[in-house]
Amino acid sequence: MATLIIARLTFRELLRRRLILALLSLTAIVIGLTVWGFSRVPGLHLGGVPLTPAEIQIAAAQLLLLVMFMFSFVFALTCAFVAAPAIAGDVESGVAQAVLARPVRREELLLGRWLGLAVPVAIYAVASSTAEFLLVDWTTGYLPREIVAAEGALVVEGLVLLTFTLALSTRISAITAGVISVIAFGTMWLGGVAGAFGQVFHNQAITEVGVITHFLLPTDGLWRAAVFGMEPASFVVLARHGLGSSFQASSGASAGYLAWVGFWLLAVLAVALLSFRTREI
Amino acid sequence: MGALAARSPAIHVVALTKRYGNNLALAGLTMTVPRGEIFGFLGPNGAGKTTAVRLLLGLARASSGEGMVLGSPLGSLEARQRIGYLPELFRYQGWLRAREVLELHCELARVESSARRVEIETALETVGLTGRGEDKVETFSKGMQQRLGLGVALLGDPELVLLDEPTSALDPVGRHDVREVLRGLKQRGVAVFLNSHLLAEVEQVCDRVAVVDHGRVVAQGTLAELLAGPQVRVRCTGLDGAALAQLEHFGSIHQDADWLTVSGLAGGEVPALVAAIVAAGGQIHAVDPGQQTLEDRFLQLVEEN
């Protein structure tokens, strides 16, 4: 019960502090700009010759991947920024003292904060990426192959970073938790890029760097699963023959990897609960 | 609530100790706060007062020792269900309206939804915030935020109210209002644990007092037990150490510049004391008979400790 009260309070905070308004406004502007850009693609010429429908599809897919890469980056950072002060800020300001003096378990406070952040950011990610996909389809005719899988991977990527940051927030200051989380996210992305290069050049050691980072903090692994769902089949074929770029994926997330991500989320949440339960306030 | 819990003291702790690394914040706190009384918990800054409150609420864990609050273990949900608390850092969500803060705490305190409206209106009225319920907390002065914090502590019909420096941001009118609130709580049989270093205030409302210093209780009891009784203050010059020693049989002597405070003086001995000072070569400029104040006693205890 207290979990839902805290979750509702958290959502109300996002609204009152105008975070949701800012996100929606800026996203609408960015989607508007990108759709304008996509609408120009069918009219492009290559060597004085108009693009063929197949070329339009490939150009649109490549551009969409770039736009969604930026979106996933901003989305992940948003998750880190909202989670960083969720517990640490309450403890520093004294709000947590007032709440925990009530018959509220620390687990309820933490899960309420998680729920109150996770649900709105997940809805935001699904709504904004769906809008982008449909508008790109409308302007260029390109629609990703596996929209649900791609959006699911994007959402879980954000939730992974949100959960990781929240766990840090139970012990360290908001600013430090945010910085560590962003650095970890960037490092995992670099590790994933290195792993993709390793695959292209058949270098086992570099490939393993990517594999390890995908398991350590599975943000980049999930991003690649999202890429797989958004890219056209031709990109998959190229990637499988080692001819693609490091920003293309040769396969989606396996059932084993998804199970690992689920376990990872539960384990980090459990660590966060244990950490907060034993923290002195 | 069981019959045993209902009969148990509001607070009973034995040898409660809290250590932060090498720093001993609380060194064996033993005290009992009866139900229905206002209990003053006094001490200089850093004495361990706020640490004690955190242990009582379960916000921090004791390094050793044990205790019960309202018959339930420290920090238990059962205890917190019946406690109202005003933290020293009385910050509430600035983006909420005052009424929303109270609603939130009604929900957290599991106040029946049908009773919330009346609870909130009563709390706003009690702390002098009628008409300000729709204002955002961030627009409140510190004093108004402290009033709101007191209102939050009163929600849910608590059996024990823990107030950590409840008047630190209030003007004299606000302090008077808080004293009236405390007296009202006492009349309703609510125990109040008042953590403060505003001694005059404590003296006016508290039934019982504990003085804590360096993490230890150095004195506790009712005000009558704690204060030394009649005393006389004499402003005099010309007394050396030997002359002061000759006066010790009159009672406990404390010297502060030209002022001598003699406590524990037997009735009618003031003329004899004055004569003895003059006989010892002292020049008397003023004589001020009176009662030892809590501040005098507090300073005496802290200096002795």
Can you give the pLDDT at residue B6? 62
Tell me whether residues B77 and A103 touch, CB distance under 8 A: yes
Mean pLDDT for chain B?
87
CB-CB contact of A128 with A21 (8 Å): no
Phi-psi region at B156: left, alpha or beta (left = phi > 0; alpha = psi -120 to 50): left
Q: Please, where are the H alpha helices in chain B?
A: 3-7, 49-57, 77-81, 98-108, 113-126, 142-154, 172-187, 199-205, 223-226, 241-246, 270-279, 294-304
Q: For residues B281 and B270, what is the distance between their CA atoms, to the nearest angstrom? A: 17
Predicted confidence (pLDDT) at residue A35 exceeds the cutoff of 80: yes
Is the ipTM higher than 0.95? The answer is no
Q: Is the pLDDT of residue B163 over 60?
A: yes
The angle at the Cα of A146, spanning A142 to A149, to the nearest 5 degrees, equals: 140
| Largest Cα–Cα separation, chain B | 76
- Mark whether B177 and B255 lie in a shared domain: no
Gap between the Cα atoms of A112 and A45, Å rounded = 53
Contacts with A13 from chain B: Cβ below 8 Å: 93, 95
How many domains does chain B fold into?
2
CA dihedral B150, B193, B166, B148 (to 10 degrees): -10
Q: What is the CATH number of the domain that holds B251?
A: 3.30.70
% of chain B residues with pLDDT over 90: 48
With CB atoms and an 8 Å threshold, state whether B108 touches A103. Answer: yes
The reply to whether B95 and B30 lie within a common domain is yes
Q: Which CATH number belongs to the domain containing residue B102 in this structure?
A: 3.40.50.300
Strands across the sheet with B64-69, in order?
Answer: B23-33, B11-20, B64-69, B72-73
Q: Name the closest residue on chain A to residue B76, using Cα atoms.
A: A103
Cβ of B57 within 8 Å of Cβ of A100? The answer is yes
B202 plus B232 within the same structural domain = no
Per-residue pLDDT tens for A170-203?
Answer: 999 999 999 999 999 999 999 988 888 887 788 8
Which of the listed residues B222, B257, B291 is the one where a domain comes to its end?
Answer: B222
Name every chain B residue with its beta carbon within 8 A of the beta carbon of A98: 85, 87, 90, 92, 105, 149, 152
Alpha helices in A101-232 (DSSP H): 106-140, 147-169, 174-200, 204-216, 219-230
Q: How far apart are CA A96 and CA A106, in angstroms?
A: 9
More confident residue, A265 or B222: A265
Helix (H) or strand (E) holding A91: helix A53-93
The residue out of B192, B222, B252 marking a domain boundary is: B222
| Closest CA of chain B from A172, distance in Å | 17
Q: A263 Cβ partners below 8 Å, 6+ apart? A: none
Residue A244 pLDDT more than 90? no
- Asked whether residue B70 carries a pLDDT value surpassing 60, the answer given is yes
B:156-195 residues touching chain A, CB 8 A cutoff:
162
Q: Does the pLDDT of residue A16 top 60, yes or no?
A: yes
CA torsion B37→B222→B46→B90, rounded to 10°? 20
Nearest in space to A187 (alpha carbons), one of A152, A155, A212: A212
Q: Looking at the partner chain, which of B89, B95, B96 has a beta carbon nearest the beta carbon of A97?
A: B89
**Per-residue confidence band for B41, with pLDDT thresholds at 50, 70 and 90:** very high
Over the stretch B198-215, which tens digit does the pLDDT of each residue have? Answer: 888 888 899 999 988 888
Q: Which two tokens stand for residue A160?
A: 């992974």
Determine whether the interchain pair B108/A17 forms a contact, defined as Cβ–Cβ distance below 8 Å. no
The reply to whether residue A102 touches residue B105, judged by beta carbons under 8 angstroms, is yes
Residues B87 and B134 placed together within one structural domain of the fold: yes
- Local confidence band at B273 (pLDDT 50, 70, 90 cut-offs): confident
**Could you tell me the two tokens for B202?**
């404590």
Residues B13 and B101 in one domain: yes
B164 and B246: one domain?
no
Identify whether residues B162 and B237 lie together within a single domain: no
Q: Has residue B91 got a pLDDT over 90? A: no
CB within 8 Å of B183: residues ≥ 6 apart = B205
Residue B1 forms contact with A (CB below 8 Å): no
Distance CA A170, CA A89 (A): 10
The chain-wide mean pLDDT, for chain A, equals: 92
Asked if A100 and B104 come within 8 Å (Cβ–Cβ), the reply is no
Q: How far is the C-alpha of B63 from the C-alpha of A240, rounded, in Å?
A: 60
Distance from the Cα of A95 to chain B's closest Cα (Å) equals 6
d(CA A14, CA A19): 5
Place of tokens 């929209």: A147
CB contact at 8 A, A107 and A2: no
What pLDDT is recorded for position B230? Answer: 67
Q: Please enumerate in sequence order all residues whose Cβ is within 8 A of that of B225, keeping only pairs 6 or more positions apart, or say none.
A: none
B57: nearest CA in chain A?
Answer: A101
What's the pLDDT band for B3 if we cut at 50, 70, 90? low
**Which residues, 6 or more positions from A34, have their beta carbon under 8 angstroms from its beta carbon?**
A67, A132, A136
Mean pLDDT of A115-122: 96
Q: What is the domain range of residue B260?
A: 227-304
- Asked whether the beta carbons of residue A101 and residue B54 sit closer than 8 angstroms, the reply is no
Question: B297 falls in which pLDDT band (50, 70, 90)?
Answer: confident
Q: Which residues of chain A neighbour B1 with C-beta distances below 8 Å?
A: none
Q: Answer yes or no: is pLDDT of B1 > 60.
A: no
Rounded to a whole number, what is the distance in Å from the CA of A178 to chain B's nearest CA? 21
B93 touches chain A (CB under 8 A): yes
Decide which of B222, B240, B274 is a domain's last residue. B222
Looking at residue B2, its pLDDT comes to 53
